[in-house]
Structure 1
Amino acid sequence: MPQEPEELMDDLRRMGLVDPAAYPVADAVCAAELRQALFFRNASRGNPQVEALLRDLAEEAGGLDQAFAAAFGPQAGRFFSKVSRSTPLGRRTFLKGLAAGAALVTLTNCGVKREQAGGSGPVEVGDLEKKTLKVGFIPITCATPIIMAKPMGFYERYGMDVEVVKMPSWGAVRDSAIAGELDAYHMLAPMPIAMTLGLGTAPFSVKLASIENINGQAITVAKRHAGKVKEAKDFKGFVIGVPFPFSMHNLLLRYYLAHGGINPDTDVQIRPVPPPDSIAQLVAGDLDAMLMPDPFNQRAVYEDAGFIHLLTKDLWNGHPCCAFATGEPWIQEHPNTFRALNKAIIDATNYAHKQDNRVEIAKAISGRAFLNQPPEVVEAVLTGKFENGLGETFNVPDRIDFNPYPWQSFANWIQSQLVRWDLGKAASMIQAGDFDANSASIFLTSEAQELERSMGLNPPAEQFRVEKLAFDTFDPKQPMQYIDEQKKRDGF
């Protein structure tokens, strides 16, 4: 690898990794007292706009020293000598250096271009009704395909310019979808069912196009309870956070507690908490435990705020969690765009499924614009190599996994638990003969099969399967019988 900055710059340019816009940026910076701006860590001297620019570039790369050190190796000192030295940086050298730094920032923040990631370039998508889109997401690893599709070029490959919009809570996602404020959404898998059926809100038809992730959650307990919590019965009296009432987190937590003899409606308090607020509430004592999406379970370990009690894959290996969804009216108005958008998500999801890609993806989505988490935390989740907060280290490659296929049996199990716990008055709104019809209407499984085949993939031929959980087996053709068996077994 070249050691001289100018040689490195030439190589980066030939590789196509330098944004031409870096040159005018560098030129503008040059005109504003470079030496003072470059050494911004010492003081806020020089042009404020230049300093703001350099700070932004540095933050995206994890720090100015990391950016230039990674770009120039032993020559990094050339750019970090004290600003008081008498010999100014040469204009040509600085232009090349800053452009190389800009290229590094681009790589750090955006990951590898889709062509480098194994794709075959743009695909034919037909006439799109809309090419500039906004897709909402919650900053959690469950949203990995939706998030990574932006910096890694999947949306672009399918002819779209997509802005991924960070949302503050699942309630905000629901309300924004009903209001038609964005084009499509990252949703919890039960949300399209609840919204379409009018559970907890006025009915609004939402279609679940693809599953974003399977597994990928955990029960995390506040560190102050270390040594006291070994099984479900030890949660009695706890306040436990979940991200939303209509979530797999709430349903799986109830499943776990009920089997252990804890009535989730009377023996504990289950409280909806936006995932970004969960660790602060754990530390403050507002929560005793939580069943949250990652990376917040691993972040609790990172902050020494909690320990991972149980991975949800141990309750149901392969369970769905989050999904790509949008309102039915939007699909009707933009059928070609919807197909292209769903294809991009399916493509990204399959790419994320491969373990060899996980470290690269972690780097692409950890930044401030997306998850805003330490890369090592996100990498621990995606690779499954993690510490549990109690001094133990694990290697669980499928701690989180990615499979876009929306099994109809997922939808039937979700409905069974909504009915069992009467969430949103589901017990009076979902009757024995409704399960299959609701699932077929809301989970676009047939469409997913057709799309995946058109992409050269091999989706399952079946739409239902028997689901094997930790404490029972779910036959999607007998959901009411399953509910009765659960109640009889657990006592409520």
Structure 2
Amino acid sequence: MNPDHTPLSDEGRTRYQALCPCGAHSSMEAHRAELGDAMPAQSYVGEENFIDRSVESAVVKALFPDDQLRRGFLKAVGARTALAAIASVFPLGMAQAIAKETGPLEKKELTLGFVPITCTIPMLLADAMGEYQKEGLSVKLMRTPGWSLARDNLVNGQYDASHMVLALPMTMSLGVGAAPVKTYTSLVQNINGDALTLHVKHKDRRDPKTWKGFRFGIPHDHSIHAMLLRYYLAEHGLDPDKDVELRVFPPPDSVANMAAGNLDGMFFAEPWNQRAVFEGVGFLQALSRDIFPDHPCCVLSVTDKFITEAPNSYGAMFRAVARAAAYADKYENRQNVADLMAPREYLNQPLPVLQQVLLGRYADGLGKVVERRDRIGFQSLPQESTAIWVLTQLKRWGIVPAQLDLTAVAREVFRSTDARQRMEAMGLAVPPRSTRHTVMGKVFDATRPDEYVKSFDIRRS
């Protein structure tokens, strides 16, 4: 939109009253003549409508820069059909919301939910470093024991946004296990940062083929932790639904249950694996990064309602968390991050535990000190390809419908918030789009998800 334009008042008056609000036509009548019945006169009344029409016009002109071709297309299919088709492949609604993020905050006080694990550090660090305050926000952080409660509180409006496991925004949007609620991934909170931990009594049983009958703890049936554990077991010939037992526990209860003998192993986010080593309860069998290098773990999630009703507040929250993630991702800042996150109001963990996780020099529970700086990272761009991989595993194990269009779901949930555009506008480093990943030596091509699902011998679908 031309920065020199003065937005329409509620009566639709501007100092450019003789021009169409889109800036491309001599009058609104000329604009309506091109766009037809999709643009009744009332569609231009008020500042928000002005911005919406301007964005729509800019997008249509970008896709069809030739005036004659554009008019011919709109005349042939109709403007309503054309805009609907564009919205199916381009986040038109989100582009309109972003364009409106120039006004005052609709909500200055936000409530954000988090589960106390290292994956949520960017959300918490934004508070500790004053990033929310810089954006004019007053944020209340609500500690939540597990993701089922976090999901419920996000849906019922108690939380404006919440830390979630990677798949939850997608399964919530699909209505898996509950009524569907349109939910988006705003930012990835971390990459890597999980581990498979076994009880110390199993130090001599490190071969997964010997694990039949084991009881494993996971934080949620849809989580990346559950999907990676299932994948790891199946690659070693074990059927995760038949040969072992998977039990869901809130992350803070994981170590206590292992100490009590209720678990033979667990696949959780940090710091709970390192905490198990710290307490003398477990040892690290495998880091998640060694199964799926640089996989995303948890995300910051919002509902469609928050984005559309408070676009300025949403944008402010996004910027605060994105800056905090960029700070945490730099290794030279990790000691300070550990110092800030250890206190009770945040992760409430012994400082040595967080230092081992964040600095990558840690005891493995087997008598060795390991150096792995890549143990955890905080790159925050949501990649559709990783969402598609998670969906292939949910489909593999019969958790989502077999006929589901995985690419369409990933595109809707992971792209609708348009994180790439926002991060680039902030001047933050953004990695290139990826379509291929390697999981335990097997290449995954995100452009061929159904073929990938069918390639596994052990599966439910």
Q: What band does the TM-score fall into relative to the shorter chain?
A: 0.7 to 0.9
Matches within 5 A, 1:231-380: 231-380=207-356
Q: CA separation of 1:461/1:279 partners in 2, compared to 1, >3 Å: closer, same or farther?
A: closer
Which residue is equivalent to 2:374? 398
Alignment counterpart, residue 192 of structure 1, candidates 166, 169, 173? 169
| C-alpha distance in 2 between matches for 1:241 and 1:401 | 24
Report the CA distance between 1:327 and its aligned residue: 1.0
Q: Deviations over 1:324-358 (max 9, x none)?
A: 11111111111111111111111111111000111
| C-alpha distance in 2 between matches for 1:145 and 1:460 | 18
Which residue is equivalent to 1:482? 452
| C-alpha distance in 1 between matches for 2:295 and 2:204 | 29
| C-alpha distance in 2 between matches for 1:358 and 1:341 | 22
Report the CA distance between 1:238 and its aligned residue: 0.4
| C-alpha distance in 2 between matches for 1:231 and 1:361 | 36
8 Å contact from structure 1 (residues 210, 346) kept in 2 = yes
Gaps of 5+ in 2: 1-100
- SS of match in other structure, 1:209: strand
| C-alpha distance in 1 between matches for 2:210 and 2:165 | 28
The letter of the residue matching 1:474 is F
Q: Deviations over 1:25-53 (max 9, x none)?
A: xxxxxxxxxxxxxxxxxxxxxxxxxxxxx
Matches within 5 A, 1:95-134: 126-134=103-111
Q: CA separation of 1:445/1:487 partners in 2, compared to 1, >3 Å: closer, same or farther?
A: farther
Which residue is equivalent to 1:452? 423
8 Å contact from structure 1 (residues 215, 317) kept in 2 = yes
More deviation in 468-477 or 373-382? 468-477
Alignment counterpart, residue 144 of structure 1, candidates 121, 125, 129? 121
Name the TM-score, length of structure 2 as normaliser. Answer: 0.76
| C-alpha distance in 2 between matches for 1:310 and 1:491 | 25
Alignment counterpart, residue 168 of structure 1, candidates 145, 155, 173? 145
- SS of match in other structure, 2:456: helix
The letter of the residue matching 1:438 is V
| C-alpha distance in 1 between matches for 2:259 and 2:429 | 46
| C-alpha distance in 1 between matches for 2:255 and 2:234 | 25
Q: Deviations over 1:2-60 (max 9, x none)?
A: xxxxxxxxxxxxxxxxxxxxxxxxxxxxxxxxxxxxxxxxxxxxxxxxxxxxxxxxxxx
Report the CA distance between 1:126 and its aligned residue: 4.2
- SS of match in other structure, 1:487: coil
8 Å contact from structure 1 (residues 367, 373) kept in 2 = yes
8 Å contact from structure 1 (residues 420, 427) kept in 2 = no
- SS of match in other structure, 2:111: strand
Q: CA separation of 1:400/1:458 partners in 2, compared to 1, >3 Å: closer, same or farther?
A: closer
Gaps of 5+ in 1: 1-123
1:439 paired to 2:424 = no
The letter of the residue matching 1:298 is Q
Report the CA distance between 1:371 and its aligned residue: 1.0
Matched residue count: 361
Report the CA distance between 1:261 and its aligned residue: 0.2
8 Å contact from structure 2 (residues 360, 371) kept in 1 = yes
Report the CA distance between 1:235 and its aligned residue: 2.1
Q: Deviations over 1:355-402 (max 9, x none)?
A: 011110111111111111101101111111100111111110010111
Two-structure CA RMSD over aligned residues (Å): 1.6
Which residue is equivalent to 1:58? none
| C-alpha distance in 1 between matches for 2:360 and 2:453 | 33
Report the CA distance between 1:457 and its aligned residue: 2.3
Shift >3 Å, 4+ stretches:
none
| C-alpha distance in 1 between matches for 2:347 and 2:460 | 41
Q: Deviations over 1:418-454 (max 9, x none)?
A: 000012xx134x43xx122111111136711110111
| C-alpha distance in 2 between matches for 1:456 and 1:259 | 41
1:180 paired to 2:153 = no
Q: Deviations over 1:275-313 (max 9, x none)?
A: 110111101111110001110000000000111110000
Report the CA distance between 1:156 and its aligned residue: 1.3
1:427 paired to 2:427 = no
Q: Among the aligned pairs, what percent are the same residue?
A: 39
| C-alpha distance in 2 between matches for 1:192 and 1:336 | 21
| C-alpha distance in 2 between matches for 1:318 and 1:476 | 16
Report the CA distance between 1:125 and its aligned residue: 6.5
